[in-house]
Amino acid sequence: MRYRLDRTVAQLVERDLDGILLFDPMNVMYVTYAPNMQVWILHNQARYAFVGADGTLVLFDYPNSEFLSAHNPFVSDRRQARNFTYFLTGGRMEEQAKGFAQEVADLVRAHGAGTRRVAVDSSTTLGITSLLDEGLELVEGTRVMEEARKVKGPDELKAMRCSVQATLTSCRLMFEAMRPGMTENQIWGVLWAEMIARHGEWMECRLLAAGPRTNPWFQECSSYQVADGDVVAFDTDLVGAYGMMTDISRTWTCGDAPPTPEARHAHELAVEQLTRNIELVRPGATFHEICHRAWFPPEEEYRHYSCLFHGVGQCDEYPSIVFPSAWETSGYDGVLEPGMVLTVEAYVGARSGGQGVKLEDQVLVTEDGCENLSPWTLDLDRFEPLP
């Protein structure tokens, strides 16, 4: 907890900010390690936190739940949130927003260096205008928090390893339960149940597809009944134990019938892409370098994923490293550092048709290379730890 707060404060000092106001529940979790109705808070701004440049941490919690952060000695003050959404305040929105902004402005004066510059990660239009009315200069806050979160500390990595192991066990049980005739939803439901049983929180997407629904990718799981010999591809996007994400993908064959030749070929290409690109992950490598050195099947023949690599921590995080063909429009540079965690992506689906394959591993940047945090088989017909 101290590590996370220190990294946040260091970003504030570096950017000459008096503080940062956090509404995103992932960012609030980062500085407080006190979850509270995380998914509900994603669409109800009824909880937020303020971090001052002097290290002061004030958590504005949902009514009657201030006790949830009692375990964290670094929370300086716990207060009830001043809600200003229409759902929670109706016609009193403006009144409540004014009180909210005045309270934040008081904290800025007390715990900043007098710049009146405050970062905000997200808020409603009314929240932003109320803060501006208090004479505060607002700065984009997502940059601050993504930079703070990008390098994981020792305790975060221990928590992530626990989350990964729980996820892999849950995936193995899903693999064992999978049978022809089950729907995609039923197979996905096994993973949800096993994930929850191992202290997981939620999965961000519904990315499990089978047979003809695997190409193109991004079709959400459905009532499609899986046939014997269909491939079943999935992406966990799983916020697991201790609020740390496990983001891995595998593709398996369901039943006793063999996969189609096209599926086998797509799988061979996806395995090659994943294994070759993991070798590029090392400290000091630039985003531009690994983008342009990455291997993947010809884009004119095969559909691919939206990126080659992306960061992962509490969820999908900075950076997102795109394909060379997208570099000019959306690529950006940076440098890999020890303690960063990336997922290495591979999706292969022939543009001419046939079933597609999704693979993904989670990789830690070390002092002298990288460590695969999810070293389990990539095979179509088995799922077990690598020796």
Residue range 173-181: mean pLDDT, rounded: 99
pLDDT at 1: 79
Place of tokens 């220190």: 6
Residue range 366-378: mean pLDDT, rounded: 98
Determine contact, residues 335/250, Cβ cutoff 8 Å: no
Does residue 153 surpass a pLDDT of 90?
Answer: yes
Q: Are strands 117-120 and 370-372 parallel, antiparallel or unpaired?
A: unpaired
Q: In the chain, how many H helices and how many E strands?
A: 12, 18
| Tokens read off for 207 | 């990315």
Residue range 260-283: mean pLDDT, rounded: 98
Residue range 360-376: mean pLDDT, rounded: 98
CA dihedral 242, 287, 320, 139 (to 10 degrees): 90
pLDDT (tens digit per residue) in 303-323: 999 999 999 999 999 999 999
Residue range 25-45: mean pLDDT, rounded: 96
pLDDT (tens digit per residue) in 223-252: 999 999 999 999 999 999 999 999 999 999
Q: Helices in 15-141 by DSSP H: which ranges?
A: 25-32, 38-42, 86-89, 93-111, 125-133
Adjacent-strand bridge partners of 128: none
Does residue 387 surpass a pLDDT of 90?
Answer: no
Q: Which of 19-23, 69-73, 133-137, 232-236 has the lowest mean pLDDT?
A: 69-73
pLDDT-derived band at 188, boundaries 50, 70, 90? very high
What mean pLDDT, rounded, does the chain reach?
A: 98
pTM of the model: 0.96
Widest CA span of the chain, in angstroms?
A: 70
Query: What are the chain's domains?
Result: 2-149 (3.40.350.10), 154-372 (3.90.230.10)
- Please list, in sequence order, all residues whose beta carbon lies within 8 angstroms of the beta carbon of residue 19, skipping any fewer than 6 positions away: 12, 50, 51, 52, 53, 107, 108, 111, 112, 118, 119
**pLDDT > 70 fraction of the chain, expressed in percent and rounded:** 100
Q: Is 309 exposed, middle or buried (0-12, 13-18, 19+ CB in 10 A)?
A: buried
> How far, in Å, CA of 382 to CA of 387, rounded?
14
